[in-house]
Structure 1
């Protein structure tokens, strides 16, 4: 009986980690999408605004795009490392790691 409960616990924890991995990927794609929105906005500013300061506005949008992409990449890899580290706690880790 105890072994069946342990297997059920292991399955639940592995599924929770899979959901966490998918959430991490979804968050990265959201950062990427937002970064691309700023990039497209920067590219379209020159044709939308027929003023001399359009270049400075473009640079601001390109900078925001680059910053968002960089933050998204850093966040993705930082969370991936935390997820990998949490996998050692699946199952009967007290017997495996404390003996």
Structure 2
């Protein structure tokens, strides 16, 4: 067999099959099955970054009245968050 493919000749048809690979021991083994690749969007939605959870917790505490406006703004700036601005849209 020459090359990477071998022609299987039967009366009336020709089929091209992948050539078998040889190990160092000389044994012939077939090619491994092709890897199944999944597209990045097929794996499902990505989990939200941890800073989004922190922002949500901060907003909940402010909504319940646990912290003042000054504390809220100070902690939001520590998270590099500008409340009221949607940074998910580009």
Q: Is the structural similarity TM-score above 0.5?
A: no
Structure with bigger RCO (C-alpha 8 Å, 6+ apart)? 1
Where on the TM-score scale, by shorter chain, does this alignment land: which range? Answer: 0.3 to 0.5
Structure number with the higher strand fraction is 2
Per the normalisation by structure 1, the TM-score is 0.33
Q: Which has the higher helix share?
A: 1
When normalised by structure 2's length, the TM-score is 0.35
- Greater Rg, structure 1 or structure 2? 2
